[in-house]
Amino acid sequence: MSLRSDLPPRLRKAMERPSGRRQIWSAQLAGVLISAYLWVAYSDQLATTTLAFGGLPAAVGGAALGGLLSCVLLFLPAATQGMRTRMPLMVAATSAFGVRGSALVPGLVLGLVQILWFAVAVHYAVEFNLRGLLAAGLIDPEDVRPPGEGGQIHGSTVYAASVLLWGIASALVATRFIRWIAALMVVYPIFIAAALSGAMLWSFPGLPVYREAAADPALGATWAEWPAFWAMTQLVFGFSATVCAQAVNWGATLRGRRDVVLSGVVGVGLASAIVATIAVLTVAGSIGRKIAPEGPEEPTSGPSAPIDLDAPDFAPAVRGRMLPEPALSPAYTLGTVYERRIGGIPGAVGLIVLGLGSLASAVYAAYSYGNRLEAIRGRPRRWAWGVVGALVAFPLMVNGLSANVPLVLDLTAGVMAPMLGILCADLLTTRSGWPGPRPGFRPGGLIGWGVGSVVGLLPIVARMGPSPGEARWLPMAVFAYLVAFVLFLGIEGVGRLRSRSEPKG
């Protein structure tokens, strides 16, 4: 394919050097994908808006459906496009969004999304290490849990100073030592998996007690299984939307269709569902172990029952009540399992292992958004973009936004899922061969992405209203994907009909 002279330098450079790697799916990519789902930011809060309100079967079923949809809709089409073009995402996206449009989507959009996830990664790295020191009794709780902030670590001066320093350090490390971090993360996920598996095995004896309490008719009548089921689907699919944004780049390095399919099935479909299931089983079992010695308490099912979802431990009278805007109960997070239920040195080690793993995710995010912003703007240098991103992320961490992962997932999935829907539709419309970069802006891609993003961001809008309604728990990221997919096909189809009907000559 001859390169046009009007292409931006960033695209010409990428197209002159197509990927020459042809690797087996299990050689490296499988480990990278599984490591993405082992990140504690994915699993820590999954139970807070699913298990807490709909029970174990609904949470596990939603995880299975979310994994299946992530594999079929998000990973396979994007990775297939990469395998076919042997080009990175910044080039492959130009056929759907146009040369100028691709600087916005996925260029700028993905860069901003990575800054947001960078804030989440640094938050978990600092918070889990501080909580690990708390569990081991090495620091005074009053130093990191100020009473005026409801006991939240992100309200302390120690936390603020730590996230600022760790954020800037991660951005600088991403500039020079990303290969060292990548080499380390070939081995380190084994320790993360051991920490998650160990917690699940520790909590497993409590599962029968939890299931017995869940079967109580007085509690079961107030449970909302379908909202919890769809909420879990949204969480798994939404997190996968950010992971699979790199699927085009990964597909460009795979040998063929079989490697693409196996990568999607094992690395995305199974990994996302299995890790989510481990998370909710761990939380459920730890709750069972908590109430087992005391026996189940008398449930309070009346409308005037006191509700305290911020209580540090499980309260049987609370579980099963579906609030209009569910709070993030600390009782249903993995961090609470390690810090307050396992506790001691084992709990501290688990927290620190997971926290250090999140620090590696922060380095990856800084490397990604630094590269994207430098490619779009050119100046300043990549290390400077990394520091700028860390400074932008700092207020997101100290005001608590980065600690609310379900909110972050709704926000990022709302813009990433429709982008992947456009890439899937573009793959179908160009089955005869990749057309190469298209000039300017492609209305089908940009309009489809824009309308899809409006649909995907409805959960954010719903949080601002007095009554969130169905948009709060329905899988709006899936709907956003489908809306963008259909709109792109429709606009492209109309454009082709018009071009055929115009007289030639």
Report whether pLDDT(149) > 70. no
**Lowest-pLDDT choice from 141-155, 292-306, 367-381, 418-432:** 292-306
Q: What confidence score (pLDDT) does residue 306 get?
A: 33
CB atoms within 10 A of CB 403: 21
Mean per-residue pLDDT, 311-339: 60
| Half-sphere exposure (Cβ direction) of 151: Cα atoms closer than 13 Å | 7
Report whether pLDDT(240) > 60. yes
Query: Per-residue confidence at 504, pLDDT binned at 50, 70, 90?
Result: low
Most confident residue range from 8-22, 282-296, 346-360, 420-434: 346-360
Distance CA 293, CA 85 (A): 60
Q: What is the number of residues in the chain?
A: 505
Report whether pLDDT(285) > 70. yes
Element (H, E) at 102: helix 101-102
Distance CA 204, CA 58 (A): 18
Judge if the upstream peptide bond of residue 146 is cis by omega within 30 degrees of 0.
Answer: no
- Please report, rounded to a whole number, the percentage of residues in the chain having pLDDT higher than 70: 85
> How is residue 279 written in tokens?
């998370």
Q: What confidence score (pLDDT) does residue 19 get?
A: 61
Distance CA 342, CA 202 (A): 8
Distance CA 163, CA 166 (A): 5
Higher pLDDT, 151 or 112: 112
Q: What confidence score (pLDDT) does residue 110 get?
A: 93
Q: What confidence score (pLDDT) does residue 471 get?
A: 73
CA 159-51-457 angle, to 5 degrees, is: 70
Range 25-297+328-501 has CATH code 1.10.4160.10: yes
Q: Helices 29-38 & 189-203, crossing angle to 10 degrees?
A: 50
Q: Answer for the pair 277, 204: CB distance below 8 angstroms, yes or no.
A: no
**Lowest-pLDDT choice from 135-144, 145-154, 203-212, 486-495:** 145-154
Query: Per-residue confidence at 313, pLDDT binned at 50, 70, 90?
Result: very low
Element (H, E) at 141: helix 141-144
Report whether pLDDT(327) > 80. no
Instruction: Indicate the Cα dihedral angle 18, 21, 26, 28, nearest 10°.
Output: -80
Mean per-residue pLDDT, 228-238: 96
Query: Per-residue confidence at 367, pLDDT binned at 50, 70, 90?
Result: very high
| Sequence spans of domains, the chain | 25-297+328-501
**Lowest-pLDDT choice from 48-62, 306-320, 435-449:** 306-320
Query: Per-residue confidence at 3, pLDDT binned at 50, 70, 90?
Result: low
Distance CA 455, CA 234 (A): 13
Mean per-residue pLDDT, 300-324: 36
Tell me how many helices (H) and strands (E) the chain has: 27, 0
| Half-sphere exposure (Cβ direction) of 494: Cα atoms closer than 13 Å | 7
Q: What confidence score (pLDDT) does residue 378 get?
A: 66
Instruction: Indicate the Cα dihedral angle 270, 231, 413, 74, nearest 10°.
Output: 30
> What are the tens digits of pLDDT across the range 450-468?
999 999 999 988 877 655 5
Report whether pLDDT(7) > 80. no
DSSP type of residue 69:
H
Q: Helices 225-243 & 476-501, crossing angle to 10 degrees?
A: 60
- Please report, rounded to a whole number, the percentage of residues in the chain having pLDDT higher than 90: 60
> What are the tens digits of pLDDT across the range 163-219?
999 999 999 999 888 888 888 888 999 999 999 999 999 999 999 888 766 655 444
> What are the tens digits of pLDDT across the range 80-89?
999 999 999 9
Q: What confidence score (pLDDT) does residue 22 get?
A: 80
The three-state secondary structure class of 434 is coil
DSSP, residue by residue, 1-67: -PPPTTS-HHHHHHHHS-----B-TTTTHHHHHHHHHHSHHHHTTTTTTTHHHH-HHHHHHHHHHHH
Indicate the average pLDDT of the chain: 85
Alpha helices for 48-88 (secondary structure H)? 51-54, 56-69, 76-85
Report whether pLDDT(329) > 80. no
Contacts (Cβ under 8 Å, ≥6 apart) of 74 = 237, 240, 241, 244, 247, 268, 417, 420, 481
Q: What confidence score (pLDDT) does residue 212 get?
A: 61
Q: What confidence score (pLDDT) does residue 221 get?
A: 42
Report whether pLDDT(282) > 90. yes
Distance CA 114, CA 362 (A): 9
Higher pLDDT, 393 or 432: 393
Beta bridge partners of 80: none
Distance CA 449, CA 169 (A): 35
> How is residue 449 written in tokens?
């992405």
Report whether pLDDT(442) > 70. yes
